[in-house]
Structure 1
């Protein structure tokens, strides 16, 4: 049994006898020294609402709608790439199947999903790339890109970094590439899955860890099951067998080294991340900020 699985099992037993229950479990599970695998996926930001209906529409609905449109555009691009690489039948293309399921979970219209699959043949040649960077305060950033022009995308990112306190440098050693299965905190019957139960299922499914986080796009709590890439499909299959509802699954870069930032640096990083995610070629951004 691996160190992490022994840790999970130890805390599982501790949880069962804990008088304070789920809240204590959450504090322990998120202890930075014991659970280093925390990935941040930046998809949207919600500005403060004003004092009237128009302010709420302007400052909340507008940004959320814009973020959703960007998300749909990026899912469309990823679906087209998946079709080109593995065919248009999700039953024989696992990557496409996962993307279609993710699009459905994000309430992407069925017609848009079908149009993306059918339009793959007409799409421009696209390549996958990683851009590594150091942000304000010394934080590390890994930026996943799908682009038809790598030089252009890299140039645009370099310009953004230079103007906002960042620089292009190698930071891959600060991350581990892991398999991640994201699921809802309710099972397929609509019953809540408590953290203690989620941890128990992680052990049974062969996952290394499970973390309760918030989906910034949907503003809902989610569970992230972390495992080796080689066991990703098996873990996902087991979790479905246990009645959990998957949102997405795939490889992610999770920090092995984290940094603490001052409030000033956090504001600068937040601004930089907003600019980066606005780039049409950027798919996901990972950081190592505590």
Structure 2
């Protein structure tokens, strides 16, 4: 869990394009999650240093893999690594061990930016809607308090990838829980997985997410 959060800090340093959390709101959200999870300050700083002052041994680069999993579910596997050969080998091993394989599946997804936030006190959903739409948002969804892991009503805003950081900046007075580039299924799946396929997919996802270089796994479900 701790390592996964530190990898996320590194990923959002790259996504936001700035090492300053006051201007890189993706990074600020990742740092907040790391602190909330109790990640030691020294570990967080070390993760940031690997991006801001990389050596030839630990310079980070992103890598993305496409795969077909159990039940013909499409997978996009995002990684951040200092050794692309090691990462590619590990991803292939995990897929092979779980009845999955590398295959082109990008056509099953659309790329977008997503911001998940809790509105500041006194801000209505309508006000957020107007601000987000004026800034180029594509979709805005309310999340009820009983469906939120934070126990309060939230808003999920979807935006074109190139507008993610701009919109996050405009919304910075609100509590930003996540600011990320996402892969969203282009069409909702109309078929349900069999129980064996569902279990196999869950086991595959768990093993991938436990791998040290994997940042996020997206599915076509």
* TM-score range normalised by the length of the shorter chain: 0.7 to 0.9
Partner deviation per Cα, 1:68-109 (whole Å, 9 max, x = no partner):
x23333135436x649x9664445xx44x5213322144144
TM-score, normalised via structure 1 length: 0.61
Indicate conservation of the 8 Å contact 2:6/2:47, yes or no: no
| Runs of 5+ unmatched residues, structure 1 | 1-66
User: Quick one: which of 74, 77, 86 aligns to 2:7?
Assistant: 74
TM-score using structure 2 length = 0.77
Matched, 1:256 2:190: no
Cα distance between partner residues in 2 of 1:213 and 1:141: 25
Q: How large is the RMSD of aligned CA atoms in angstroms? A: 3.0
Please state if 1:182 is matched with 2:116.
yes
Q: Which of 123, 138, 150 pairs up with 1:220? A: 150
Correspondence for 1:116: 47
Deviation at 1:250, TM superposition (A): 2.8
Partner of 1:17: none
Which residue does 1:208 correspond to in 2? 138
User: Runs of at least 4 residues of structure 1 off by over 6 A?
Assistant: none
Task: State the aligned residue count.
Answer: 205
Query: Unpaired runs of 5+ in structure 2?
Result: none
Give the Å deviation of 1:288.
1.3
Give the 5 Å matches for 1:82-161.
82=14, 88-90=19-21, 94-95=23-24, 97-106=25-34, 107=36, 108-118=39-49, 120=51, 121=53, 124-161=58-95
Structure exhibiting the larger radius of gyration computed from Cα positions: 1
Greater fraction of residues in helix: 1
Measure the CA separation in 1 of the matches of 2:175 and 2:18. 25
- Answer whether contact 2:67 2:76 (CA < 8 A) is retained: yes
Give SS of 2:167's match: helix
